[in-house]
Structure 1
Amino acid sequence: MVVAVIEKNGKNASGLDALALELTRTSGRFARIAGRTAGVGYSLVAWRVLADLEQTGSARVSELAQQQRVAQPSMTGLVQRLEHEGWVDRSPDPDDGRASRVAITEAGRAALDEYRRIAADRVRPHLGELSDFDRATLARAVELMQQLSERIGDPRA
């Protein structure tokens, strides 16, 4: 287990490296598995785009493509599909008349909430199989992951 390689003071660099690697690998795998059936008809990239727009506000298509590490034409096609669903709107970019900004709509928020609910429904029965201690540990891990996400996502960090 990864935690076993970390010294009690948490300063073992190789232990921190292993923990960072395992956290990244496991959280990514968990998100893919939990969301696998939830987003029928749309890729995880589509749901991540909606989540990013919900979290950070509007963005240019080029910014979305860069964030998701996809080609701009692919992101343009995805944004068009999301716009057709009524999940995003485009508006002129006030800083550049040639560009537009994409923002999530209320319908997009509702679709994202439903996606998350279905994913949570898939996870819930497995949480019930855990002990109270393990569920409390996971609840604390969620808090820590939220804190880490805020630090990592902060451009000043």
Structure 2
Amino acid sequence: MKEDLLETIELEMAILGRRLTSVTPNKAQTNLDRATYLLLLKLFVQGSLGVKVLATELQLDMSTVSRQAATLEHKGYVNKIPDPLDGRAYFYQITELGKTELLTYKQMRMEKFRGLVKEWSDEECEAFGRLLKKFNQALHQK
């Protein structure tokens, strides 16, 4: 790869990292943040999961996921369910309140993204989504 192409990618990723906070709903609008959004989204899409699976999929250590999940449990967004096969282990399951908060937060994000790409063609959106997914998969495999 040409060095100037790599420099463009590196610079644009740095700028993207800085600007993404402007797309995230602010604290006055929602009770969630990006970290808890991703955790709740995993539970919503995949169902009940244990801390180890959540940590692996979110690329976090288990203590971080445990702290985040405990906070979500305290707020009533998730329930802790004992593992019937291992009395020491447990799963987290999203509650109805958690689903409501998650979907509200996601809708706010979707509105902002819709505005950002309103001038883009379907082909541009498809290409960007495909390449972004490919990049995220490369990050996950690092």
TM-score normalised by L of structure 1: 0.61
Q: Structure 2 vs 1, CA of residues 148 and 64 (structure 1 numbering), >3 Å: closer, same or farther?
A: same
Relative contact order: is structure 1 or structure 2 higher (C-alpha 8 Å, sep ≥ 6)? 2
Distance (Å, rounded) in 1 between the aligned partners of 2:65 and 2:116: 35
Label 1:69 to 1:111 Cα distance change in 2 as closer, same or farther (>3 A). same
Distance (whole Å) between structure 1 residues aligned to residue 43 and residue 17 of structure 2? 20
Residue 89 of structure 1 deviates from its aligned partner by 0.9
d(CA) in 2 for partners of 1:41 and 1:53?
A: 17
Could you tell me how far apart the structure 2 residues matched to 1:26 and 1:95 are?
47
Q: Where do 5+ consecutive residues of structure 1 fail to align?
A: 1-11, 153-157
Deviation sequence 1:80-104 (CA, Å, 0-9, x none): 2111221111111122111111011
Q: Distance in 1 between matches of 2:45 and 2:19?
A: 20
Instruction: State which structure, 1 or 2, has the greater radius of gyration over its C-alpha atoms.
Output: 1
1:4 maps to none
CA distance in 2, matches of 1:62, 1:45: 16
Match of 2:49 in 1: 59
2:88 is the alignment partner of 1:101: no
SS of the residue corresponding to residue 35 of structure 1 reads coil
Between the aligned partners of 1:27 and 1:52, the Cα distance in structure 2 is 23
Map of 1:7-156 to 2, 5 A cutoff?
33-35=22-24, 37=26, 42-66=32-56, 67-72=58-63, 74-128=64-118, 130=119, 133=121, 136-139=123-126, 141-142=128-129
User: Unpaired runs of 5+ in structure 2?
Assistant: none
TM-score (norm 2): 0.66
Task: Look up the SS of the partner of 1:110 in the other structure.
Answer: helix
